[in-house]
Chains A and B, each alone.
Chain A
Amino acid sequence: MSMHFIWLNAFLGHARRNGVRLRKPRRQPLEPALLYEVEAAGWGRVAATARRFGMRWADTWAVETEEGFLIQSLLEYRGDYLLLRTGQPLQGAVLESQAPAFPAALRVERAMRDLFGIDFSGEVDRRRWIRHQAWTAQCHPLRKEFPAHGSGESPVPPDLDYPFLQARGTGVVEIPVGPVHAGIIEPGHFRFQAVGEQILNLEERLGYLHRGVEKLAEGRDAISLARLAGRVSGDTTVAHAWAACQAMERAAGVQVPDRALFLRALLAERERIANHLGDIGAVCNDVGFAFAMSQFGRLRELWLRMNGRLFGHRLLMDRVVPGGVTIAPDQDAIDDLRQEAHWLRGELETLVRIVENTPSLQDRLIGTGILDRETALELGTLGYVARASGVRHDLRAESPCAPYDRLRVTVPVHETGDVADRLRVRADEINASLDLILQILNQLPEGPERAGWTPPPAGAEGLGLLEGWRGEVVAYVRFGGEGKVDRYHPRDPSVLNWPALERLVRGNIVPDFPVCNKSVNGSYAGHDL
């Protein structure tokens, strides 16, 4: 712990001078985060202090207990996580908003108002967010008293009266797009205000994929929760299942065998590579370079077939389970994986050279959809989107969980923040992940792939934190009686990257929106839960 939290006293001093008292409880159940209790009246001020201090906001979520709500905000500074917790009564809960300090918190607070009925004062935007027309403003689905089956009224009317920001003036047009899009993609609504082809403003309207994940988690056992977590966002099944298992294992004090940890990282890096391969092709295809789509599609397909052959599932669903993994690669499999890594590196070299040296393609990618570093920091942008804008943030390097603490992690960073750089970062990351895979295979410890599961006592809680392919994935789990889950809250990195898309398309032309969107590739399902 020596190098960790060396900044903490300075921060506590700032908070004290701003009149916020922080208290460190003796029990620290949410490691690696350090838990501090904050008086409710200081909720807004502590965020303002944290912002001035240079901290990054990662998430805010509520837990309903018999005594009242526990509301917690997760903040990060230099790779250390601080978890601030405050209490509120179950009726008439009102807190100061943290969104004036951290703009990305706004939608999360709006969702908490919709789902829990917790109000926030001092918010610039008090519109509903996750709620459409399936329940009324008086109902709060994540409250314990709200029945999981709901009211059952059907069909639910379309959500027509959401007050979008309007632009007025000569030549201004409004373009509504979605929720059903013109491709094989997830649903969401985009409202453009444009002059001619130029985008003045984009407003996202999400929530169409709200499946009630957090409600469905209640009452599940550990294995069943891991299955659900693996379907928060199907392209991130490994990272979400791992984060949920990490949280549950920490809550239960279950030691995961070394071999299982290395195998989890193997799966997570395979997931990263599969998604990057697919998206590099798709980004190129969105500006008409179909060659890259077929070539990268070919590599992705072979990669997924290897998943299917060696691990029994092309997308690796349900391979990460509480206590370990369900895969047990033998020596032949490990040889195949090693060979495959060398093969892909060769293929990639040829294809990346073509992508980089095709002027008609680069002409469409360079300078398109720029997210500058300042905006990326202001919004708390994550993953390759941040790293293409010069923000070097990667949990595998800065706050590594096992086994990354025993691996050499390269973090590619580019500076321009345009579509071309986001593509470059992702191509570089494939190589970095291949390097990690080879390290994992070389260092793979012997031993069991799975430890037994011991359900924790009621009230036990844990936090999962790791770098998924889109960026930081957070999971919080609290157990109730009989080893059943009382609260599960996952935070997909997309929650922080969707706002970045709104900013980076401004001033671009409407026909470049698809390539901008694909270069960020936020998860709709992971956001909407």
Chain B
Amino acid sequence: MLRILRQIHHTGLLSESPTELEAVGREARRIIDERYSGSLAIRQVDAGSCNACELEIHALNNPYYAIERFGFHFVASPRHADILLVTGPVTRHMEAALLRTWDAVPAPKWLVAAGDCAACGGEFGASYACRGGLSGLLPVDASIPGCPPAPADLLRGLLSLIRRG
């Protein structure tokens, strides 16, 4: 236990300041506090991603980004979500599950396409196996390009979404 405490003390606080990322996060925090009672819940769905987008979305929770301090929370159930964050070109085998997940998110809600695949089909495009992205299937509120988008890009994308209201 002492070793654990020593390591925590030695590591210190890593969450970044006063970088540009921090400024983005602070603005998100301000908007979320003003308009959304302090928190916005995100449910992520992989609809055909190669898993690279998931790795970078995961990174938002690491101690450098620690996205929760800005008011964004990843939740386990779509019923608890305000934002559905979708990755992948929407495989036809995931179509039904994705539509059901979207239906399970209570309104008002936002749909965000994270990564090139969800935004426009990316490397996979439209085929017998993929729809070629989210648009045309569901109303997309924001797209975050990148293959995959880096954590800072994801945070900026989320900020631009909530800025518009």
Contacts and interface: CB of A to CB of B under 8 A. Distances in A.
Interface of A: 132-135, 141, 146-151, 154-159, 179-180, 182-187, 207-213, 215-216, 227-228, 231-235, 237, 278, 291, 294-295, 297-298, 300-301, 304, 308, 314-315, 317, 350-351, 353-354, 357-358, 523-525
B76 A183 contact: yes
A216 B51 CA distance: 18
Interface string B136-158: 01000000000110100000000
B67 to A, nearest CB: 12
B4 A358 contact: yes
Contacts of A295: 7, 11
B107 interface: no
A150 B63 CA distance: 44
User: In which size bucket is the chain B interface?
Assistant: 35 or more
Contact of A211 (B53, B58, B91): B91
Interface stretch (B24-32, B33-41, B94-102): B94-102
A22 B165 CA distance: 69
B59 interface: yes
Contacts of B8: 291
Contact of A187 (B46, B53, B78): B46
B46 A212 contact: no
A352 B58 CA distance: 22
Contacts of B123: 227-228, 231
B89 interface: yes
Interface of B: 3-4, 7-8, 11, 14, 44-59, 61-64, 74, 76-78, 88-89, 91-97, 99-101, 122-131, 137, 147-148, 150
A134 B93 contact: yes
A148 B128 CA distance: 6
Nearest to A357: B3
Contacts of B128: 134-135, 141, 146-151, 212, 215
B53 A210 contact: no
Contacts of A148: 127-128
Given A149-B126, A353-B3, 19 more contacts: A155-B99, A158-B100, A159-B96, A180-B78, A180-B97, A182-B76, A183-B74, A184-B54, A184-B58, A187-B97, A212-B130, A216-B125, A231-B50, A234-B51, A235-B52, A237-B50, A298-B11, A315-B148, A525-B49
- Which 7 A-B residue pairs are closest in the complex by CB-CB distance? A150-B128, A234-B52, A212-B129, A234-B50, A158-B96, A182-B76, A134-B92
Contact of A184 (B50, B62, B74, B77): B74
A207 B59 CA distance: 26
A527 to B, nearest CB: 11
A175 to B, nearest CB: 16
Name A's interface SS: loop
27 contacts: A141-B128, A148-B127, A149-B127, A154-B131, A155-B96, A158-B97, A184-B58, A186-B51, A209-B91, A211-B129, A212-B124, A212-B127, A231-B122, A231-B123, A234-B52, A234-B54, A234-B55, A294-B62, A297-B59, A298-B14, A304-B59, A315-B55, A315-B56, A351-B7, A354-B4, A357-B3, A524-B51
B63 A298 contact: yes
B62 A301 contact: yes
Contacts of A297: 59, 61-63
B130 to A, nearest CB: 6
A300 B64 CA distance: 11
A350 B7 contact: yes
Nearest to B59: A301
Given A215-B128, A297-B62, A317-B147, A186 B11 contact: no
